[in-house]
Amino acid sequence: MENINLIDTFSEFKDTKNIDRPTMMAILEDVFRAMLVKKYGSAENCSIIINIDKGDFEILCYREVVEDDEIEDATKQISLSEALKIDDDYEVGEEVAEEVKLSDFGRRSILSLRQNLSSRISELEKDNIYNKYKDRVGQIITGDVYQVWKREILVIDDEGNELVLPKKEQIPSDYFHKGDTVRAIVLEVNLRNNNPQIILSRTSIVFLERLFELEVPEIYDGLITIKKIVRMPGERAKVAVESYDDRIDPVGACVGMKGHRISGIVRELRNENIDVINFTNNIELFIRRALSPAKITEVKIIEDENRADVYLEPVEVSKAIGKGGFNIKLAMQLSGYNIEVFRNKTEEDEEDVDLSEFSDEIDPWVIEELKRVGCDTAKSVLALTAKELEERTDLEEETIQDIIQILQSEFE
């Protein structure tokens, strides 16, 4: 009965943990040999026969038949008189095979063996999971949401392994329930207290890159190269692509006929706006493309300051800045240049006042922050609501209210 219970445990591990047969056999034999050595001092003359499929095993120990007065090692030798009690045909020099019953080791030894085996298999499984996912860092995996917590989500893969999707690695608009299917990339694999911890991410730029590879065959085949990706997860992303084949339009290939390729990616990213632009080494042209959909009148590059001054019509300023300032922030990350927006002068601007004139009332760094988002005059600031200014700049609400009050008093 003990044999059956023990083997049932081994089979359960084999089936649920997906341990291959040779590895399982090696572990079982190693554990049994350790038990034999502990009891008899040696296991050199013992054979362990295991049949996992049938749920059975057999331990045979062999001893050489010697004359009654010639026994030197009782674990390896047996007297002729004892051998004849087993079988009348035994002679000196032959080997006697005796089966060792599990019950011969006692209940404590059996319990120890079971614990030892469980520990060995558990360690092996941890190593397997760690090595498997260590090689999959940066790859997309699909799993089912098993548990939703405040700071993270527990995801189960198709083999029953536990993966973690932290809150900070989720798109802000992500909302999962238990049982939902989730796609993410393997961000990192760590060992914490000797336990593998697999961290997933949906906010990484690598996740967006892998989605493009899945949806756009030309990228997967290497005909189109992704030069750079920047993104504000859940809000906006910009992808610079390049084709080494003049016959292939990289932007058109990524967007697809009627946008069917890009639409699948947008849905996966919770309606994140994705701008796909042609990469070019002409930095002026690249900045123009990066600020799309705004139409730029002029771009001046100041190399020693790593700055680009962009001039455009007043109606285009809001497009260049974008909702929450995302468009210009991503354009700066994509191009690697600090971009400052300037409105082209109009007749109405003759009655306007440059923000620099208010340096005695408004801190210089505040003026620079306003200029950075295209507000270089008093009227250009007053043309925006306090909420719009708060979204576009890094200024606090109280500071914005003070600025509006100062500027309004100029025209009263």
CA 369/CA 227 separation, integer angstroms: 30
Domain carrying residue 95: 2-131
Last residue of a domain, one of 152, 179, 203: 203
**Candidate from 49-58, 160-169, 260-269 with smallest mean pLDDT:** 49-58
CA–CA dist 144, 160 (Å, integer): 10
Quick check: is 210 in a domain?
no
H or E stretch covering 348: none
In a domain, 164, yes or no: yes
Domain boundary among 231, 253, 279: 279
Q: How far is Cα 177 from Cα 168, in angstroms, rounded to an integer?
A: 17
Q: What is the mean pLDDT of the chain?
A: 85
The CB density around residue 111, as the number of other CB atoms within 10 Å, is: 10
Give residue-wise pLDDT tens across range 104-123.
676 776 677 777 777 777 78
Domain co-membership, 123 together with 25: yes
Q: Are residues 117 and 10 in the same domain?
A: yes
**Do 271 and 192 have their domain in common?**
no
Those residues whose C-beta lies under 8 Å from the C-beta of residue 30, and which sit 6 or more positions away, are: 120
Report the pLDDT value the prediction gives residue 350, as an integer from 0 to 100. Answer: 56
Residue 5 pLDDT: 52
Q: What pLDDT score was predicted for residue 261? A: 93
At residue 4, the pLDDT reads 45
Flag whether 14 is in a domain.
yes
Checking if the pLDDT of 268 tops 90, the result is yes
What is the percent of the chain with per-residue pLDDT over 90, rounded to a whole number?
A: 42
Tell me which of 203, 227, 250 is where a domain ends.
203
Amino acid at 276: V
Same domain, 120 and 174: no
- Whether residues 142 and 184 share a domain: the answer is yes
Between 313 and 233, name the one with better pLDDT: 233
Based on the fold, state whether residues 118 and 31 are members of the same structural domain.
yes
For residues 153 and 126, membership in a common domain is answered with no
| Residue 264 tokens, joined | 């699948």
Amino acid at 115: Q
Of residues 164 and 103, more confidently modeled: 164
The percent of residues above 70 in pLDDT, for the chain, comes to 90
Domain count, the chain: 3
CATH number at residue 178: 2.40.50.140
Please report, for the domain that includes residue 7, its CATH number. 3.30.1480
Sign of CA dihedral 380, 383, 389, 392: negative
Question: Is 320 part of a structural domain of the chain?
Answer: no
* 123 and 8 co-located in one domain: yes
Same domain for 242 and 256?
Answer: yes
253/219 Cα distance (integer angstroms):
9
| Strand partners of residue 343 | 312
Tokens at 59, concatenated: 């331990």
294 within some domain: no
Looking at the structure, do residues 9 and 88 belong to the same domain, yes or no?
yes
What is the reported pLDDT for 103?
66
pTM: 0.69
Calculate mean pLDDT across residues 382-388.
86
62 DSSP β-pair partners: 97
Nearest Cα neighbor of 128 from 30, 31, 8, 14 is 14
Whether residue 126 sits in one domain with residue 6: yes
Place of tokens 């941890």: 126
pLDDT in tens, 121-152: 778 788 888 988 999 999 999 999 999 999 99
Model pLDDT, residue 54: 61
Q: How confident is the model at residue 34 (pLDDT cuts 50, 70, 90)?
A: confident
Q: How far apart are CA 138 and CA 298, in angstroms?
A: 39
How far is 14 from 154, CA to CA, in rounded Å? 24
Domain harbouring 245, CATH code: 3.30.300.20
Do 242 and 165 belong together in one domain? no
Confidence bin at 2 (pLDDT 50/70/90): very low
pLDDT at 1: 40
Query: What's the pLDDT at 349?
Result: 53
Q: Which two tokens stand for residue 381?
A: 């600031």
Tell whether 319 is covered by a domain. Answer: no
Please give the structure tokens belonging to residue 221. 């085949």
pLDDT-based confidence at residue 55 (cuts at 50, 70, 90): low
357 within a domain of the structure (yes/no):
no
User: Is 90 exceeded by the pLDDT of residue 266?
Assistant: yes
Considering only 55-64, 164-173, 321-330, 369-378, which range has the smallest mean pLDDT?
Answer: 55-64
On the question of pLDDT at 346 being above 80, the answer is no
| 177-192: average pLDDT | 94
Task: Identify which has the larger pLDDT, 332 or 33.
Answer: 332
* 385 located within any domain: no
